[in-house]
Amino acid sequence: MSGINPHFIKIAVDELVKTQDSIIKKSVSEEVGNIIIQHALGAAAAGLGAAWIPGAGGTAALAASVGVIWSMYYRINKALGIKLSKTLLKSLASAVITNIAASAASVIGGTVTATALSFIPGVGNGAASVVMAGVDYAVVFASGLVYIKILTNLFKAGKNPEEMSADELKAAAKSAVKNEDMSKIVREAKKEYTNARKSGDVSGKETIDREE
């Protein structure tokens, strides 16, 4: 998966597979992991460019991640055979990123740092772009993990996500975030991305074709 070790994702997807083994085949486990990593890398590459906007770059890049996240959710659902509307997924993606930002101080700290650095010409803009790339990767990665946790919790409770309202799914998202150490997940995801950039396993130019 592009030189990145998605250990959190693998563990989460394996747990999901166990809850619905007759429905969700184990063969999709790697596919779901790849979908999450690909979208996280695409968000990071977008963050590299958006953070060059003085003052507003960090906030703009983080907000743009919502579009990447719902697209990721849509493709995860397609792989798992789950049918949820794009409108509902957009609403859920916004709720998930809000909850993650509230739970992981490192996400907000990264955005503020990138925004401040972007005011400094040249070196400042470059530093801001590197900070936001890691933050965007981590946010989308964490959002993918949260979605897998949401589905796992719902299946364990005998609930069908296709029959739930937007508010019910948002409540499930809030609960999933609350039960995870999001600061740790975000911090380790940022570290993995940084190490992958340094080793050359990740170029920072990865792209994805988002759903519209």
The DSSP-derived string for the chain is -TT---HHHHHHHHHHHHHTTTTS-GGGHHHHHHHHHHHHHHHHHHHHHHTTSTTTHHHHHHHHHHHHHHHHHHHHHHHHT----HHHHHHHHHHHHHHHHHH-HHHHHHHHHHHHHTTSTTHHHHHHHHHHHHHHHHHHHHHHHHHHHHHHHHHHTT--GGG--HHHHHHHHHHHHHTS-HHHHHHHHHHHHHHHHHHTS--S--------
Task: Give the highest mean pLDDT range of 3-7, 23-27, 166-170, 194-198.
Answer: 166-170
Question: Which pLDDT value is given to residue 111?
Answer: 52
Instruction: Note if the pTM is more than 0.85.
Output: no
Reported as a single tens digit per residue, the pLDDT across 25-83 is 656 777 888 899 999 999 888 766 554 444 444 445 556 678 899 999 999 999 888 99
pLDDT value for 189 = 87
Identify the pLDDT of residue 30: 79
pLDDT of residue 54: 45
pLDDT at res. 172: 96
Confidence of residue 1 (pLDDT cuts 50, 70, 90): very low
Mean pLDDT over 126-151 rounds to 81
Return the pLDDT at 100: 86
Range of lowest pLDDT (24-33, 92-101, 102-111): 102-111
What's the mean per-residue pLDDT of the chain? 78
Label residue 4 by pLDDT band (50, 70, 90).
Answer: low
